[in-house]
Amino acid sequence: MTLLDQRKLPGSKEFIEVRSLEETILAIRQMIVRGAPAIAMAGLYGMVLYLKSQSRKPSFMELTEKRNLLLESRPTAVNLRLALEKLFLNFFDYASLTNLHLIEIAEDEADELFKKDLSDNLAIAHNALKLFTEKKELSILTHCNTGALATAGHGTAIGILRTLRDSGFKLTVYAGETRPYHQGSRLTSWELMQEGIDCYIIADSMAGWLCHSRKIDAVIVGADRIAPNGDTANKIGTYSLSIIAKEHSVPFYVAATKVSFDFTIRTGEEITIEMRPEEELTRNSFLKDSEGKYYIPEGVLSPIGAKALNPGFDVTPAKNISAIVTEKGIISPVNEENVRLMME
């Protein structure tokens, strides 16, 4: 499997050949591939690599162990778990399947997920058009990266931006830099510039100023996991943005496909939040090569030995979300009844 090394963007566009499940897990852990849908797709292709590497059919227990290893790679997004559950449902008649069958099933499942993610992203964007009927010039604030890099191609929140632009809207996009990993300033600005969409990077701390001093028509973000009551886990900083949006009466939209919804939990309180390394905050370069050397000479942003807290995600309560835009339609108001009606 060939992956674009997202750690090195936008400095250089390098591809990495991933040859095994172990390398897939590493690629997900090290954020070579990131974004909930892309992680799920990479994970399924990782299972294909595992099956192809076997000279005999693995026992169901061996396969389950591998699946569990994969699941530990990043804990917040639900897409990978749901993709693996669906794959394992296809293995229900395990005893009668050969390893070749398993490979075929896993490959089909991965290809299918890829195709479905792309078509679902397009459907989300199409549905979102109903939210923007009043004017043709829009200023949108987004967070993290939810574009082609994070999905099979179009993107969720960024997919909406692409489709708005294609539908004749004149867009000004503000991309929160998304400290500390900079998905906004490194990746979203890169994607939007290539699309020719007017984009300004802002420091995350500028969102309040932005909503107060300029007309922002909407905040649009993606999701890593949505509880049945609509509480939404997404990149750290999303919750703060939702509060700022509410204070300034700016509509706050979440764009996500069905596989972001986790019906095994009740509320966002039950979502595991990934804690990430302190050095992402305390050093101005946290991108290391395989030998642990920094790509950019290590710089110091804080006293040596300073402690830092680095949650990768937060949960935005449903009450702060104006609508969740899905491939099936728009959920609004966001509450358990409407979520279940649309998504179950």
Nearer to ligand MRU, 30 or 172 (CB): 30
Residue appearing with tokens 């992203």: 121
Q: Please tell me whether residue 305 adopts helix, strand or coil conformation.
A: coil
Residues near ligand MRU, by CB under 6 A: 34-37, 77, 144, 146, 150-151, 156, 183, 222-224, 234-235, 312
In whole angstroms, the minimum distance from the beta carbon of 153 to ligand MRU comes to 11
In whole angstroms, the minimum distance from the beta carbon of 134 to ligand MRU comes to 26
Nearer to ligand MRU, 110 or 223 (CB): 223
204 catalytic? Reply is: no
Catalytic residue (choose from 120, 204, 224, 262): 224
Nearer to ligand MRU, 53 or 285 (CB): 285
Residues 192, 173: contact at Cβ < 8 Å? yes
- Read off the DSSP letter of residue 139: E
Residue appearing with tokens 């590497």: 53
In whole angstroms, the minimum distance from the beta carbon of 150 to ligand MRU comes to 4
In whole angstroms, the minimum distance from the beta carbon of 145 to ligand MRU comes to 6
- Give the residues across from 277 on adjacent strands: none
Residues 42, 84: contact at Cβ < 8 Å? no
Nearer to ligand MRU, 162 or 235 (CB): 235
Cα(95)–Cα(106) distance, integer angstroms: 16
- DSSP-assigned states of every residue in 200-226: EEE-GGGHHHHHHHS---EEEE--SEE
Nearer to ligand MRU, 63 or 148 (CB): 148
Residue nearest to ligand MRU (CB): 222
The CA-to-CA distance between both ends of the chain, in Å, stands at 33
The two three-digit tokens of residue 217, written as one number: 């028509």
Pick the closest to residue 185 from 37, 10, 3, 312 (CA basis): 10
In whole angstroms, the minimum distance from the beta carbon of 277 to ligand MRU comes to 13
Pick the closest to residue 224 from 296, 286, 163, 314 (CA basis): 314
Positions marked catalytic: 224
